[in-house]
Amino acid sequence: MDLKVEQKPEVNSKTKQMTMIQAINDGLKTMLELDEKTILLGEDIGKNGGVFRATEGLQEVFGEDRVVDTPLSESGIVGTSVGLAVNGFKPVAEMQFMGFIYPAYDQIMTHVSRLRMKTLGHYSAPMVIRAPYGAGIRAPEIHSDSAEALFTHMPGVKVVCPATPYDAKGLLIESIEDPDPVIFMEPMRSYRAKREDVPEGKYNVEIGKGNKVQEGTDITLIAWGAMVPVAEQAAKQAEEQGVSCEVIDLRTLYPLDRELIAESVQKTGRAVIVHEAHGTGGLGNDILSVINDTSFLYLRSPIERVTGFDVPVPFFSLEDHYLPTAKRVLESIYKSVNF
Amino acid sequence: MDLKVEQKPEVNSKTKQMTMIQAINDGLKTMLELDEKTILLGEDIGKNGGVFRATEGLQEVFGEDRVVDTPLSESGIVGTSVGLAVNGFKPVAEMQFMGFIYPAYDQIMTHVSRLRMKTLGHYSAPMVIRAPYGAGIRAPEIHSDSAEALFTHMPGVKVVCPATPYDAKGLLIESIEDPDPVIFMEPMRSYRAKREDVPEGKYNVEIGKGNKVQEGTDITLIAWGAMVPVAEQAAKQAEEQGVSCEVIDLRTLYPLDRELIAESVQKTGRAVIVHEAHGTGGLGNDILSVINDTSFLYLRSPIERVTGFDVPVPFFSLEDHYLPTAKRVLESIYKSVNF
Amino acid sequence: MEEQFPIKKVMDDQGNLIDSSYEEKIDEELVRTMYYNMLRIRTFDRKAINLQRQGRIGTYPPFEGQEASQVGSALALKDGDWMFPTYRDHGATLTFGADMVRTFLYWNGRHEGVVPPKGKNIFPAAVPIATQIPHATGTAWAEKRKGTTNIALAYFGDGATSEGDFHEGLNFASVFQTPTVFFNQNNGYAISVPIEKQMNSKTIAQKALAYDMPSVRIDGNDCFSVYFEMEKAVNRAREGSGPTLIEAVTWRTGAHTTADDPTKYRPDGQGEEIVHPLDRLEMFMKNYGHWNEEWISETKEKIENEVEAAVEAMENSPKANPADLFDYVFEQNPEHLEEQKDQYLAQLKGD
Amino acid sequence: MEEQFPIKKVMDDQGNLIDSSYEEKIDEELVRTMYYNMLRIRTFDRKAINLQRQGRIGTYPPFEGQEASQVGSALALKDGDWMFPTYRDHGATLTFGADMVRTFLYWNGRHEGVVPPKGKNIFPAAVPIATQIPHATGTAWAEKRKGTTNIALAYFGDGATSEGDFHEGLNFASVFQTPTVFFNQNNGYAISVPIEKQMNSKTIAQKALAYDMPSVRIDGNDCFSVYFEMEKAVNRAREGSGPTLIEAVTWRTGAHTTADDPTKYRPDGQGEEIVHPLDRLEMFMKNYGHWNEEWISETKEKIENEVEAAVEAMENSPKANPADLFDYVFEQNPEHLEEQKDQYLAQLKGD
Ligand SMILES: Cc1ncc(C[n+]2csc(CCOP(=O)(O)OP(=O)(O)O)c2C)c(N)n1
Ligand SMILES: Cc1ncc(C[n+]2csc(CCOP(=O)(O)OP(=O)(O)O)c2C)c(N)n1
Ligand SMILES: [Mg+2]
Ligand SMILES: [Mg+2]
């Protein structure tokens, strides 16, 4: 049984209050139990349970052979995962932080993403690459990058980014079951930000479908991951000023849920896109282009983007200045409605 | 004397008919002569003169110490270039093909692009990374990638891409003199496609400035590198049907010449963006976003993009199907003017 | 270090056995299999160069001079084993069971060219240098996990040893003791860069010391040395004793690719003293009574016919299908990609 | 391999010289310099941990246990030389001349923290593991080209040896014979991963064999062994005899960072038998008549005052300037970035 997006778990299915990191742990555990081909690889994920505790306790239960502490070598992790995947295993590789995925970029770009196409489907390398991303937790440099756009421009991989514990588990399970490679981005800032009811056992959240987290009529706010709460906060403040915001949590960054975006913008005629990565080259421009392609005649004002600045993510004393805030979103909302 | 964009070389300066590859060779030679801190590094660039002959004859003149055959190691080339650059040298590193830049992605992302910002300007790593790119020459897989969008989303590097022999030499010299790192993309397909007058000695073409290669009134075509001739061809055909096209050769991909784009689109009210890289995540979306930000009220139809498909660049038997053609551009022109 | 890794030979340059104990191990069947395969791939190789010159296929990287390395190593594998070749290892893949028509198709820019026959585990030729090395480690690791005795063989050149992936792949293999054989063909050059500029070490075999991995340096132009040393490494891998690095010292007779001009970077006369592997085998066969003119000419004819037929089949095969551009990117196309496909195919039809 | 790379010591665990010829080389000045610096950085380190606990700085990676490695190696450098540290090497950078206030600022997330004093060539601490290794090679190469006798020193951990950049950096250094010293602090763990899972080799020193590069394995808790072996490597580099790999076997006493809990992955009691480098030096000083209570207590006081003053200065330093976010991305801001800056600063002002 696949529980799809809009259906939340059935009333009688048991749930538990979980943070996002617990939900991820639970999702990994669920798949380790259900499919013996699932194996986890990464730096410090075994005995240590991961630097964020995403894999806490899993090696104890499933053994060193299925929850593998690897050498410190991202290209090696992804490169060997290609071999494992081709041979029927389902590697779930952790990059300790998304900023450390770059050494593996070549393997992902030239093999993981292309193997199926290259061989007309004879071989493929489905795997999940988990990557905690984003600023706001006072981590050292590089740790805080948001690199989704480097993967949405790479045909052959899907990119997923949950904003809630429920979606995190359901999307992770779906990603592990997906026949294609998935970059699974985890907003560190949201790891322990809230708890919610998460069903026990297996359930899926469909890849490729966004979630309308709030209905509204005047303007559409589009966000994902750690920016969803920021958008929600801005929406609340705008509401108080009489501007009704529709808020969309994209959840999947490749492929985009064009239908949901178009439908909403056609209704509101306005949009603010919020993301943490740099504006130039950011996914916001892709969304803008979806709106251009589908909803040109509906637009009542230019589309606004509130993004990280076009500067490297700074050391943490400046990171709050780098990150989009509800205030900046609110200004863009006003700019748009007053256009 | 800096010859800037619009000024072509003075009448009495000596010129020579050159292909783009010859102009690049000449630009490298010019800078090796003028600045002893300039050093070239790369695989097969020395004795062999480069697989495309870009560095032909240079090692003979300037010695093994300034035109260096390195080990087969892109991360090593860029990583050691950081050290050289910090110490006052100006490395001009060749990636044999842009598809082989990925192993160096980590060094470029985490150091080359960030060193200046990280150290508040105390250190910086200005260097030029030359990278032949693009499909259409029947090369094996990976050789034909167009990876500009992976660098325009990386604050701290500039991205340049000439379309003509004249611009190639002038932009290359400017890139070598630039105080910041520059990714210098060379359209392989244009290496020997035409000859034109190229001044002897040193001249510069400004980074950040596009070039209006054709005036028009009905629609703006925006392209760069090997797609400029494709856009020009489509413009010619459209002209025959009475549609007047303005054609812009962007030349610099980061930072974008927003003024030129805005000015033109505000005049024509329509735009077709043409590029070789995949549409999703492509630079076309950034240009779209520039237009959205600057020229919303002038738009008479949705902006069209004609790009490589959202598939890996295929083996060469299919590459002509992958690449944008004048025909596809023409269809988009019609779609736009008939909207 | 060079003394620590002497070049192992079974026969000398004149085809005389150096260690006579090999005489019984080298039976008629082995000799003929070796000769047949080496002649077959050389015929393929020369044909490919000709086809390229005539514009009938794309740029092609010849392997002439490396036939003993490729055939000797490939023959040590069994069905179920895995091969991770580079662009220059079609001699090995053909010997292991790749289809010749498809191999020609590959050099004609066709994706069909990388699809191996059913039951043959042959990965697409790695184009980004050294990236296949961790794949071979991962695959061998998978076989080990599954409890099979299958092994994985990675081919790579001298230049490839400079890439990080070489290092990471060998490190993983040594840590997880995967059944992988890392087979290096040291042909002296990476395009134009001679080994002295590629590395400071005199041997590639010694690089295994970094991983406490067994390694051996062999005469890559001596098909028997290649075969028997490979066999040892393969057996060790099958038995669960982990990976091995083999350095086969060989020589690329021709250009890097048909687009390359080796006279630009090779000193005059370099490599001329090297006895070509097939000539060496021929001398051996004559020396040890394996030379049978009739069998030889039958074999030649058979091979020539096969190669000609393969060329014909390649040229008669249906044109590349534009839909293939779209149909294998994902298991199932996302909507926007399906749209791109539909639009483009409709436009093509309109033409 | 382990026998080939015995751990070199100058003194034993009780502070007794193993080779008495060192007695004259180790004069009072050297002893005091060593003690002063080791005590100074330990004081800094412990202070930093406290500050982190009190929320006055961010996550911090302590280096306690590695003081001899860091001080012994740093003291072998001269002005003009280059240092490429990791996040754990602030003991070394402080010894080489980094500013203590700025070092605290770094751990408070401040860019000012990586700016070295004028004339001191100290690179920002490398955060992406092993990436600094090619930088040190390139810098040394630059110095060689310029004809100076300056050298570059790269620090890195045991875990770093698994990355491709380690391999590529050492290969370049060996090919171009750059004056680089690759100083490995093998502290037994990369976060939670013990060296046995990081590599199959028992030593890191042996990895130099891959590059025909000299290497040595030393007791990294013996400040004199570190200092004298470093001196040899540095001299070799200055003389134009190329790079060296040094493996300093040491131990991280505490956690990987203040966010880490080593009891999760370290067996009970592991490392307890290790005599801490500063205790060992103290015993040596007592054994050889260098212990002077008065000097010691003066020194302690001086250091404590310095550290307290540095903390105060760190905390009193002006807040980070939001304009710094924009002003150093390029030498000159492109227009769109200048716009972003102006808008944002205007908005901040409006608050
Ligand atoms: C990552 C990468 N960089 C550069 C190239 C371009 N290139 C193709 S073959 C080659 C030389 C390879 O030399 P070697 O490993 O010795 O193999 P050989 O060609 O001699 O068989 C180079 C540099 C590439 N294919 N991949
Ligand atoms: C490329 C990269 N991958 C992962 C990390 C996360 N990380 C930080 S420190 C560390 C362990 C480093 O171990 P080692 O090299 O032994 O140095 P030590 O911390 O012991 O000094 C890891 C995995 C990183 N900083 N960079
Ligand atoms: Mg070679
Ligand atoms: Mg360590």
C contacts of D202 (beta carbons < 8 Å): 212
**Which residues does C199 contact at the CB level (< 8 Å), separation at least 6?**
B71, C158, C161, C162, D171, D174, D175, D211
Interchain CB contact of C264 with B (< 8 Å): yes
Number of H helices, E strands in chain C: 13, 8
Q: Which D-chain residues 142-161 have CB contacts (< 8 A) with chain B?
A: 142-143, 145-146, 152
Q: Which chains touch D (3 or more CB pairs under 8 A)?
A: A, B, C
Cα distance between residue A317 and residue C179, in whole Å:
49
% of chain D beyond a pLDDT of 70: 100
A143 CA: nearest ligand 2 atom:
25
Nearest CA in chain D to B111: D131
C227 CB under 6 A from ligand 1?
no
Q: Do C163 and D168 touch (CB under 8 A)?
A: yes
Active-site option among D32, D111, D265, D344: D265
DSSP for D294-343? HHHHHHHHHHHHHHHHHHHHHHHSPPPPTTHHHHTSSSS--HHHHHHHHH
Query: CA–CA distance from B137 to each of B145, B233, C127 (Å)?
Result: 12, 19, 16
> In this predicted structure, what is the pLDDT of residue B2?
39
> In this predicted structure, what is the pLDDT of residue D1?
86
The answer to whether residue D2 is domain-embedded is no
D61 CA: nearest ligand 2 atom:
19
Residues C27 and C74 reside in one and the same domain? yes
Q: Which ligand is nearest to the CA of C187?
A: 3
B72 CB under 6 A from ligand 1?
yes
Mean pLDDT of chain B: 96
Residue indicated by tokens 């000097």: D295
Mean pLDDT of the A275-303 span:
98
Q: Do C175 and D199 touch (CB under 8 A)?
A: yes
C contacts of A81 (beta carbons < 8 Å): 138
The answer to whether residue D285 is domain-embedded is yes
Q: Count CB pairs under 8 A between chains B and C.
A: 110
Nearest CA in chain B to D135: B83
The answer to whether residue D46 is domain-embedded is yes
Active-site option among C90, C252, C280, C290: C252
Predicted confidence (pLDDT) at residue B253 exceeds the cutoff of 60: yes
Residues D65 and D90 reside in one and the same domain? yes
Counting as low any pLDDT under 70, the low residues of chain C are none
Q: Do A103 and D164 touch (CB under 8 A)?
A: yes
Is the pTM value of this prediction over 0.95? yes
Cα distance between residue D57 and residue B289, in whole Å:
40
Predicted confidence (pLDDT) at residue B12 exceeds the cutoff of 60: no
Nearest to A281 among B286, B299, B312 (CB): B286
The answer to whether residue D1 is domain-embedded is no
The answer to whether residue C1 is domain-embedded is no
The answer to whether residue C234 is domain-embedded is yes
DSSP for A227-273? HHHHHHHHHHHHHHTT--EEEEE--EEES--HHHHHHHHHHHS-EEE
Q: Render pLDDT for A75-85 as a digit per residue (tens, 0 to 9).
A: 999 999 999 99
**Which residues does D312 contact at the CB level (< 8 Å), separation at least 6?**
none
Residues C177 and C198 reside in one and the same domain? yes
Minimal CA separation from A208 to chain D, in Å: 32
First vs last Cα of chain A: how many Å apart?
Answer: 47
Neighbours of C236 (CB within 10 A): 17
Range of the domain at D46: 7-320
Q: Is residue C282 within 8 Å of C89, Cβ to Cβ?
A: no
D contacts of A279 (beta carbons < 8 Å): 340
> In this predicted structure, what is the pLDDT of residue B5?
44
C113 CB under 6 A from ligand 1?
no
Ramachandran angles phi, psi of B137, nearest 5°: -120, 20
Which pair of tokens denotes residue C202? 């005199």
> In this predicted structure, what is the pLDDT of residue B8?
59
Q: Render pLDDT for A258-272 as a digit per residue (tens, 0 to 9).
A: 999 999 999 999 999
In our burial notation (b when 16+ CB lie closer than 10 A, e otherwise), range C162-196 reads bbbbbbbbbbbbbbbbbbbbbbbbbbbbbbbbbbe
Give D160 Cα–ligand 2 centroid separation in angstroms: 7
Cα distance between residue A210 and residue A207, in whole Å:
8
Query: CA–CA distance from C155 to each of B271, C183, C215 (Å)?
Result: 49, 5, 15
Q: Do D123 and B86 touch (CB under 8 A)?
A: yes
Q: Render pLDDT for D148-191 as a digit per residue (tens, 0 to 9).
A: 999 999 999 999 999 999 999 999 999 999 999 999 999 999 99
Predicted confidence (pLDDT) at residue B124 exceeds the cutoff of 90: yes
Residues D176 and D68 reside in one and the same domain? yes
Interchain CB contact of C191 with B (< 8 Å): yes
Mean pLDDT of chain A: 96
Active-site option among C265, C266, C276, C344: C265
3-state secondary structure of D118: coil
> In this predicted structure, what is the pLDDT of residue D350?
83
Q: Is residue B173 within 8 Å of B120, Cβ to Cβ?
A: no
Residues D55 and D95 reside in one and the same domain? yes
Interchain CB contact of C111 with A (< 8 Å): yes
A96 CB under 6 A from ligand 2?
yes
Report the number of distinct structural domains present in chain D: 2
A8 pLDDT tier (thresholds 50, 70, 90): low
The answer to whether residue C189 is domain-embedded is yes
DSSP for C182-207? EEEEE-SEETTEEHHHH-SSS-SGGG
Please give the single-letter amino acid code of residue C278.
L
Q: Render pLDDT for C187-223 as a digit per residue (tens, 0 to 9).
A: 999 999 999 999 999 999 999 999 999 999 999 999 9
Q: Which ligand is nearest to the CA of C125?
A: 1
**Which residues does C313 contact at the CB level (< 8 Å), separation at least 6?**
C101
Q: Is residue A145 within 8 Å of A132, Cβ to Cβ?
A: no
Nearest to A79 among C116, C134, C337 (CB): C134
> In this predicted structure, what is the pLDDT of residue B10?
54
Residues D341 and D316 reside in one and the same domain? no
Which pair of tokens denotes residue D294? 């008065």
A10 pLDDT tier (thresholds 50, 70, 90): low
3-state secondary structure of A126: coil
Q: Which chains touch B (3 or more CB pairs under 8 A)?
A: A, C, D
B4 pLDDT tier (thresholds 50, 70, 90): very low
CATH number at D118 reads 3.40.50.970
Nearest to D167 among C167, C177, C213 (CB): C167
Q: Do B153 and A277 touch (CB under 8 A)?
A: yes
Cα distance between residue D351 and residue D343, in whole Å:
13
Instruction: Let me know the angle formed at the C-alpha of D150 by D147 and D151, rounded to the nearest 5 degrees.
Output: 120
Q: Render pLDDT for A91-149 as a digit per residue (tens, 0 to 9).
A: 999 999 999 999 999 999 999 999 999 999 999 999 999 999 999 999 999 999 999 99
Residues C286 and C204 reside in one and the same domain? yes
Minimal CA separation from B287 to chain C, in Å: 20
H or E element that contains C233? helix C223-238
DSSP for A143-207? TT---THHHHTSTT-EEE---SHHHHHHHHHHHHH-SS-EEEEEEGGGTTT--EEEESS-----T
> In this predicted structure, what is the pLDDT of residue D351?
72
Nearest to A80 among C114, C124, C137 (CB): C137
Cα distance between residue B71 and residue B42, in whole Å:
8
Is there a catalytic annotation at residue B143? yes
C contacts of B72 (beta carbons < 8 Å): 129, 159-160, 162-163, 190, 193, 198
Q: Is residue A306 within 8 Å of A324, Cβ to Cβ?
A: yes
% of chain A beyond a pLDDT of 70: 96
Mutate to test the pocket of ligand 1, among C45, C87, C129 (most ligand atoms within 8 A of CB): C129
Q: Is residue B220 within 8 Å of B271, Cβ to Cβ?
A: yes
Residues D183 and D328 reside in one and the same domain? no
Using alpha carbons only, how large is chain A's radius of gyration in Å?
20
H or E element that contains A129? strand A128-133
> In this predicted structure, what is the pLDDT of residue B317?
97
Q: Is residue C273 within 8 Å of B58, Cβ to Cβ?
A: no
According to DSSP, the residues that pair with D183 across neighbouring strands are D155, D246
Interchain CB contact of A179 with C (< 8 Å): yes
According to DSSP, the residues that pair with D152 across neighbouring strands are D82, D180
Residues C220 and C333 reside in one and the same domain? no
C contacts of D213 (beta carbons < 8 Å): 200
Angle formed by the axes of helices D277-287 and D223-238, to 10°?
100
For residue C262, whether the previous peptide bond is cis, meaning omega lies within 30 degrees of 0, is no
Residues C263 and C326 reside in one and the same domain? no
Residues C174 and C213 reside in one and the same domain? yes
> In this predicted structure, what is the pLDDT of residue B9?
53
Q: Is residue D123 within 8 Å of D85, Cβ to Cβ?
A: yes
Nearest CA in chain A to C337: A255
Is there a catalytic annotation at residue C265? yes
Predicted confidence (pLDDT) at residue D48 exceeds the cutoff of 60: yes
The answer to whether residue D264 is domain-embedded is yes
Sign of CA dihedral B223, B229, B234, B236: positive
Q: Which ligand is nearest to the CA of B98?
A: 1
According to DSSP, the residues that pair with A185 across neighbouring strands are A131
H or E element that contains B159? strand B158-160
Interchain CB contact of C138 with B (< 8 Å): no
Residues D221 and D327 reside in one and the same domain? no
Q: Render pLDDT for B309-325 as a digit per residue (tens, 0 to 9).
A: 999 999 999 999 999 99
Minimal CA separation from C234 to chain B, in Å: 28
Interchain CB contact of A143 with D (< 8 Å): yes
Cα distance between residue D96 and residue A50, in whole Å:
35
Give B96 Cα–ligand 3 centroid separation in angstroms: 16
Predicted confidence (pLDDT) at residue B95 exceeds the cutoff of 60: yes
Interchain CB contact of D131 with C (< 8 Å): no
> In this predicted structure, what is the pLDDT of residue B1?
33
Domains of chain A, start order: 18-199 (3.40.50.970), 211-338 (3.40.50.920)
A4 pLDDT tier (thresholds 50, 70, 90): very low
- Nearest C-alpha to atom 7 of ligand 1 is from which residue? C129
Q: Which chains touch C (3 or more CB pairs under 8 A)?
A: A, B, D
Mean pLDDT of the A47-57 span:
97
